[in-house]
Structure 1
Amino acid sequence: MSYEDVREADPAVADALVGERHRQRETLAMIASENHVSEAVLEAQSSELTNKYAEGYPGERYYGGCEFADEVEELAIDRAKELWGADHVNVQPHSGSSANMAVYFATLEPGDKILSLDLTHGGHLSHGHPANFAGQLYDVEQYEVDADTGRLDYDSLQDIAEEFEPDMIVSGFSAYPREVEWERVQAAADAVDAYHLADIAHITGLVAAGVHSSPVGVADFVTGSTHKTIRAGRGGIIMCDEEYADDIDNAVFPGAQGGPLMHNIAGKAVGFKEALQPEFEDYADQVVRNAEVLGETLQDHGLSLVSEGTDTHLVLVDLRDSHPDVSGGDAEDALEEVGIVLNGNTVPDETRSPFDPSGIRAGTPALTTRGFDEDAMETVGDCIARVVDNIGDVEVYADVASTVEDLCREHPLYE
């Protein structure tokens, strides 16, 4: 994109857009929830569908002129059904959090009980944190990972469920590096007659490609993001059995949202088609292998990983043992100086403030999209460890920044 029309209308915004393009080209995106979509997805999201109001659903809109909006949304729905094997799919949620909100609205009343994974143990705000609507509307109890292994303790989860008697159990994560045993969570939900919502926001692409087990057909509801490991238009998705279809659709519209963002749904449709191609399975497999190599490299440098490794697209580093004087915020800031962009993150049994936590989270989806393989990820791991080992050392920073520049040049983005 040239942004010529933007520059003519608003030079300040054009400058920012060009700056962002250069930033993405010249740095390594390792925030686990970020990826790089194709130029086809970018083009679809900037289409004339931006102009179209389409309240309702295909064939049942509250506005005229929706024939092409219907066509695009139906394509997105059909492709999502094929990708994940779901009976019913709603592609209108604006985000994964919006998708979770709609499921809550479809099934719960204010004051009902939710059991979910604690935020500092890898959960998500929308699973019931007090600062989020879910924590304000519902009575929330939370389960944790085992402090020694860093893995979900399913026996403890079931014990808590039997004592708390939730109306819904939420599984899934934003910072948990291991595969989830959906059937174990479902068994806990069945034992207390609770709904089970599986949030696969981070692993939608890994599930679609079959490199992570699927909760579709196991959990009552499956929600996700459509832009993290799936590389489609930015937004959310809900999947469920046909028996819940009407309740879910009504909870999304008119319950939680007005008109859908049809340009984003176009991006979802294009991204889903790309994910249906055979090469997407190779991509998803490479994402996981890259994460494994990244984790092993960091461990070789003496850094501690929560759960001692990963099955997914992310690694979670606990700095407390190896670098007790370095916070996650310190590491994030230092790494950004050399062109490696990731985030400070809480770790199980966190002892610091969530605004300056004890860990860092690093993901491999975006670098894998750029073509990084195991050798390149080993180099990236070496760079991360060198910076964390030498906070404030300008000579080390300059050397690592040079390596990052070389990696970006070898793996170009949006040429």
Structure 2
Amino acid sequence: MQSLRQFTNKYNNLLKASSRFNFASKITRQLPVKDLSLKEHDHELYKLIEAEKFRQYRGIELIASENFTYKFVLECLGSALTNKYSEGYPGARYYGGNEYIDKIEDLARNRALEAYRLNPAEWGVNVQPYSGSPANLAVYTALLQPGERLMGLDLTQGGHLTHGYYTESKKVSATSLFWESKQYKVNLQTGHIDYDALEAAAKEFKPKIIIAGFSAYPRDLDYKRFRQIADSVGAYLLADMAHISGLVAAQELNNPFEYAHVVSTTTHKSLRGPRSGMIFARREIMDKIDFAVFPMLQGGPHNHQVAALAAQLKQVNTPEFKEYCQQVKKNAKALADELMKRGNKIVTDGTDNHLLLLDVRPHSLTGSKLEKACDEVHITLNKNTIIGDKSAITPGGVRIGTPAVTTRGYLEQDMKQVGVFIDETIKISKKIQETSGKKLKEFQEGLEKSAEIKQLAQEVEKFASQFDIPGFDATKIDA
């Protein structure tokens, strides 16, 4: 890969060369079909998108895996790059016409390594995975033979589907279908990962990959201990930092690159980029990773996503992004503290990162019901299994994250108000359940009739509408 300075010089020279021509003046033949805007072509779909913009603007977005991207990311995603097919890698494409695509992908790879302060002689990166799940599948395909073993955190205790989830009656994830998996657990008293039990299970199971990563775990990870356990059984250590990649880049959490052989991630959560994925790997296994992504699992990369990622990685290397990640953590802590102050139970009694888990079982509620109630008052979060749960359909908790609201400018005092709104929603939900019945359908009907819910929804909308939102002009929403 060439240096960023070389790329910049070449790019500037191309701009100077192209400026000598007035291409528009040479157009003599029009398109055979009129090039319409979406509003002109499909007004029904246009209105639905505008309605979604309004939903995002007037509500409080607390899904831990979501964020708001900036205009420069959206511009890349809606660019002419989506027109181009580019199977292969820079300098080795199957199709012609990829001279600029090559430069864009190399720019993304260089910026990715820079964002995590990685030496290109020691680490490589693949920016072509379509998202996080395909990225993990590529890692397993590269490093495991069919039927070999891996270990990941139990889904019901904070892990992810792609970490090998299965039930006693069904192999739910393709990971558990193609490879043999075992799930490690958290300590049932503390909620923290039980590293001693993990070590004992690894020595008995002897996996070839151990996954350090999560989808709903509110604490930082001890990568040094993970690596010690992996080394003791001759396993690769895969760090799946999908949720925390922004916080890692900003050096606000432990650094998985010090100990992992491979690091996978999505690019949209705390990193605030497009919906895409990346795989970092140590040089000695990078070729295996690249081959697994293409040609084994994917065809042409989504060039508009790669460009959008490159654009966001430029922002990651700024003091403003560092401050943003610090605020994400402060906001999560402030919200957890406010909820606990009001008598609510938070798993592990707090958080180290961007998310927290609220246990609603002491209120005789389910996570499913609180999610529905929060939807009615324009607060978006998700039901989530917590320690002791058996079902992901009717779990005992909800997962709450702060990356999206922090992007909109929320500070600690604002998160305290969010805590008040959630606490009020819980109290109203308890009343509705007492009068309408415990079945989810009955509860939903009670929500729709509740005057208190409607009043709270107005208060939330008024509060949320104070904050600007990136990507589009909220004053021009056509909803």
Q: TM-score, normalised by structure 2?
A: 0.84
CA deviation digits over 1:96-131, x for unaligned, max 9?
A: 111100100000011101111000000000000121
Instruction: Quote the residue 2:241 is aligned against.
Output: 200
Aligned partners of 1:178 and 1:217: how far apart in 2?
Answer: 18
**Pairing of 1:16-415 with structure 2 (within 5 A):** 16-86=48-118, 87-129=123-165, 130-320=171-361, 322-324=362-364, 326-351=365-390, 353-391=391-429, 392=432, 394-413=450-469, 414-415=472-473
Kept after mapping to 1: 8 A contact 2:59/2:465: no
Kept after mapping to 2: 8 A contact 1:85/1:216: no
Following TM superposition, by how much is the alpha carbon of 1:389 offset from its aligned partner in structure 2, in angstroms?
A: 1.7
CA deviation digits over 1:27-53, x for unaligned, max 9?
A: 111100000000110011110001000
CA deviation digits over 1:391-411, x for unaligned, max 9?
A: 137343234223312222211
Kept after mapping to 2: 8 A contact 1:386/1:396: no
CA deviation digits over 1:369-394, x for unaligned, max 9?
A: 00000000000011001101211373
CA deviation digits over 1:45-95, x for unaligned, max 9?
A: 110001000000111111111111111111111110011133211000001
CA deviation digits over 1:11-30, x for unaligned, max 9?
A: 22111111111111111111
Report the AA paired with residue 229 of structure 2: A
Aligned partners of 1:316 and 1:68: how far apart in 2?
Answer: 45
**Does the residue aligned with 1:142 lie in a helix, a strand or coil?**
strand
CA deviation digits over 1:148-188, x for unaligned, max 9?
A: 00001111110110111111111100000000011111110
Kept after mapping to 2: 8 A contact 1:29/1:341: yes
Kept after mapping to 1: 8 A contact 2:149/2:181: yes
**Does the residue aligned with 1:410 lie in a helix, a strand or coil?**
coil
Aligned partners of 1:285 and 1:59: how far apart in 2?
Answer: 39
Aligned partners of 1:340 and 1:267: how far apart in 2?
Answer: 28
Following TM superposition, by how much is the alpha carbon of 1:4 offset from its aligned partner in structure 2, in angstroms?
A: 7.3
Aligned partners of 1:310 and 1:217: how far apart in 2?
Answer: 23
Report the AA paired with residue 157 of structure 2: H
Report the AA paired with residue 341 of structure 2: D
Report the AA paired with residue 68 of structure 1: Y
**Does the residue aligned with 1:283 lie in a helix, a strand or coil?**
helix
Aligned partners of 2:149 and 2:340: how far apart in 1?
Answer: 40
Q: Which stretches of structure 1, 4 residues or more, deviate above 6 A after TM superposition?
A: none
Kept after mapping to 2: 8 A contact 1:387/1:396: no
Aligned partners of 1:385 and 1:237: how far apart in 2?
Answer: 38
Aligned partners of 2:457 and 2:216: how far apart in 1?
Answer: 27
**Does the residue aligned with 1:37 lie in a helix, a strand or coil?**
coil
Q: TM-score, normalised by structure 1?
A: 0.97
Aligned partners of 1:165 and 1:346: how far apart in 2?
Answer: 28
Aligned partners of 2:193 and 2:126: how far apart in 1?
Answer: 29
**Does the residue aligned with 2:256 lie in a helix, a strand or coil?**
coil
For these two proteins, the number of residue pairs brought into alignment is 410
Aligned partners of 2:334 and 2:382: how far apart in 1?
Answer: 19
* Identity between Structure 1 and Structure 2 (%): 44
- Bigger Cα Rg: 2
Q: How large is the Cα RMSD of the aligned pairs?
A: 1.3
Report the AA paired with residue 74 of structure 1: D
Aligned partners of 1:257 and 1:21: how far apart in 2?
Answer: 31
Aligned partners of 2:468 and 2:462: how far apart in 1?
Answer: 10
CA deviation digits over 1:289-310, x for unaligned, max 9?
A: 0000010111111111111100
Which runs of 5 or more residues in structure 1 are unaligned?
none
Aligned partners of 1:218 and 1:323: how far apart in 2?
Answer: 42
**Does the residue aligned with 2:465 lie in a helix, a strand or coil?**
helix
